Amino acid sequence: MNTKAVIGAVIPLMLILFFQKTLVEVARQRARREKSQRTIHFMDLLISCEDESYSLSRVQMYLWTIAIIMGYWSIYAVTGKFPDIKENLYLLMGVNFATSVASMAINSSKTPPTQEAATAAIAAATTPADAAAAITALTAATAADARRATPANFIQDLFFEVKDGKIQASLDLPRTQMFIWTIISLSTFAIQLVGSFSETPELPDIKNGLVALMGISNGAYLGAKAAKK
């Protein structure tokens, strides 16, 4: 890659980080106005609001968005023309976006009630079965609140299993393999992109098989996520 390509890739990256920093500062000011105890991280875009942990699907979409934007503008800096975006790149971004939305929907549907609501349900219970269900809900709500109070940890949140709102000692296989395929596909994209500058610079056309593998991997991740209590 020549100097123009490097500059063309670095400038949009700096603009993205500057925009992200601005959003973080706005979020921190709002948190101070509302006297919120929540800590706003620089990478807060990657943290799920349901459980205050790093979201693998958000990490995947974030990395691919930056990679494609940097590749797009590096080619424009060299050729002076806007490059074509291959169909499979659209499909890949669609898979990432759909996974992120589905993951948020699953998290929302599984978010336990607050401790106050669960305590009120116990007081209102009229049968032993209702009381037992309310106590179970209170236990889940207490664990979830404790999980939210724990600072987000990139490694733990992405690769370790969570049960009843607590980080377990065992690795999460679907998450791990999804992350591995994300790194493999990004590396393939980057190698093909850099290689194209020796001839005609263009955005790589990701192979159908790799897109299919990413789709299967993301589907397995969502299936495992939905199956867990």
Q: Is residue 167 part of a domain?
A: no
Q: Mean pLDDT check: name the lowest of 40-54, 125-139, 165-179.
A: 125-139
Q: CA dist 7 to 13, 92, 168, 180, 200, Å?
A: 10, 26, 44, 29, 18
Q: Is residue 23 part of a domain?
A: yes
Q: Is residue 96 part of a domain?
A: yes
**Stronger pLDDT, 229 or 68, i.e. the higher one:** 68
pLDDT in the model for residue 68: 93
Q: What mean pLDDT is predicted for residues 204-209?
A: 85
How large a percentage of the chain has pLDDT more than 70? 76
Q: Is residue 117 part of a domain?
A: no
119 near 60, Cβ under 8 Å?
Answer: no
pLDDT in the model for residue 183: 92
For residue 142, with 0-12 CB atoms within 10 Å meaning exposed, 13-18 middle and 19 or more buried, which class applies? middle
Give me 186's structure tokens. Answer: 């990004």
Tracing tokens 């890739």 back to the chain, one arrives at 9
Residue 1 has pLDDT above 80, yes or no: no
pLDDT in the model for residue 166: 63
Question: What are residue 196's DSSP bridge partners?
Answer: none
pLDDT in the model for residue 200: 85
Q: Is residue 192 part of a domain?
A: yes
Q: What mean pLDDT is predicted for residues 107-124?
A: 57
Domain limits for position 214: 3-109+173-227
Q: What mean pLDDT is predicted for residues 176-188?
A: 89
Please calculate the CA angle 148-151-152 and round it to the nearest 5 degrees: 90
Q: pLDDT digits over 20-44, tens only?
A: 999 999 999 988 888 877 778 888 8
Q: What sign for the dihedral angle of Cα 57, 171, 164, 143?
A: negative
Q: Is residue 39 part of a domain?
A: yes
Close Cβ partners of 111 (under 8 Å, ≥ 6 residues apart): 50, 51, 144
Q: What mean pLDDT is predicted for residues 184-205?
A: 89
Q: Is residue 220 part of a domain?
A: yes
Based on the structure, what is the number of domains in the chain? Answer: 1
Q: Is residue 134 part of a domain?
A: no
Q: What mean pLDDT is predicted for residues 76-91?
A: 89
Amino acid identity for residue 182 in this structure: T
